[in-house]
Structure 1
Amino acid sequence: MIGIREIDAAAERIAGHVVRTPTVDSPGLSALLGVPVTAKLELLQRTGSFKARGAVAKLLSLSEAERAAGVVAVSGGNHGIALAVMAAALDVKATVVMPRTAPARSVRIAEDAGASVRLTDGMDSAFALAARLGEEGLTPVHPFDDPVVIAGQGTVGREFAADAGDLTDVLVSIGGGGLIAGVAVALRALRPDIRVWGVETEGAEAMSRALAAGGPVPVEVSSIVTTLSAPSVSALTYEHVAALVTEVLVVPDREAVRGSLELAEHAKLWTEPAAGCLVPAARRVAERVGPGARLGLVVCGGNASVADVAAWTTRFGLG
């Protein structure tokens, strides 16, 4: 497991390449949820999500030969965007493998940044293709199964701990678990009394299934939330979550989309459902903790198009 020293080193390495995103109290969310709420606005990060942190941390750690070979990554959207943009900034050739279910906007942004985008029929086949490309000589940049990437994502928690007021509970979305692993390390080191809660959507329950099984297991992905749809977590992220996270909550896709609409209406934030899922989970945490709760939300990304949100709103009858 990584520690706060690795996160401190990552923060120093990536300074100047990423944004120190705002940490703000949200009167609108506080009124909606009935308890004080503070938000860490990673949707304002370069490339629209926290993924830029881990991507550039890894790129900066590579040798000259590894960079010259070019990098390859699997992504449901945000990791691919981040790697494409950050690699271009460092003059490194990038290949991004995405499932065909990835948002068209994500594919377009990665291509516009200069990456070669390869599409597959699903996440399992995307990881398989990326593994083959790695064997052929490209340098892998895994979206979560890498201590350097986790340390980069952990800088979110380091900043949150420094910038937020008193918090009792922090909620973090989970795909493969890189973000929550890093954030949990930082928060438990710097704010030991804070509870960290993970949030997944139904059909993208890789971490909660792993916790129930005692280790990573393959899951069948069916959630609309492609940015959370890892086919399994890794042993590395599982170990961090099992040791440091209070509980992983699972919410339906419909509630994740409703959460995005509520974030837009009450917090004035345009988010993707990977962040929207925090709102219904926060209601549950507030009910369980009681009136003394002071919640922190890591608003992880905002890479959803107007067309995407409109389609989901219609699909789930939320208009």
Structure 2
Amino acid sequence: MRFAAAIVLAGALAAMVTAARAQDIRPSGFQLPPLAAVTAQTPAKELFGRVTRPSEGPDRSIGFYSNGCLAGGVALPLTGPTWQVMRPGRNRFYGRRKLVTFVERFSRRVASQTSWAGLLIGDMSQPRGGPMLGGHASHQIGLDVDVWLRQMPAQVISMAQRETIMSTVVVSDDKLDVNGYWTPDTLQVIKAAASDPEVERVLVNPAIKKAVCRQARGDRSWLQKVRPNRGHDYHMHVRLGCSPGESSCRPQRDVTPGEGCGRELDYWFTDAVLNPRPAPQPTKPLPPFTVGKMPGACAAVLNAP
């Protein structure tokens, strides 16, 4: 197999810290070591994580959001009039053309309808999608994007600062509700994402979903797309659906009807969920997830020019 050079991550300068968590910061100068050998048992994440360019040809999603790859990926420009890509050294700013177009359209809407100058964009997909070395189970087919819940500043952030600057955690320490960093504009940003016709789901922390349910006024139909999920306290995960007629892309089940503000939301605030007990015995490690376990076309995508 052919692989491109390792990704180099840069970083300097700490900025506004709203929680004592790393948010996936890597040390300055971090570099992926080369693989000594590639076998049928080499984890797929080790291979896809080292590819630095998209494959040639038209863009296509292959497989499922958590088991698939991306052909013909397109890079989101690192800086636009109403968006800036964070953690650029991770090289996870690729997606389908329609995802790039969505980010551009969505960020313009946020800038025109709120006090935010624009959006800070987190991970999308790797150049050829596939599993990542860390941070996500999904984001594999070019249809997912993380959007930070911290407004973009009016000035352009330097590339070095983008590697270490923190997002804003908007969930209280007890995980029961939002905190003082939550604002009416935060609500409007989530609403703008969920109201876009191409968006299939917006994943947020259960405490954020609770606040959205409590504060939404007028037309509440968009609440159906806002789904509670673990984590997601400093960003929202926006997911587009498969393109109509694209048989290579496996869609998710339809979103559950209704606002999702009743008993199904209460579940997330039970003691068993908020304070899960450790397993009585250590979990047996799973066997490596290899390219052979992915859709057949992904091996070709990995080796394509």
TM over 0.5: no
TM-score relative to the length of structure 1: 0.29
| Structure ranking higher in helix proportion | 1
| TM score, norm. by length of structure 2 | 0.29
State the structure with more CA Rg: 2
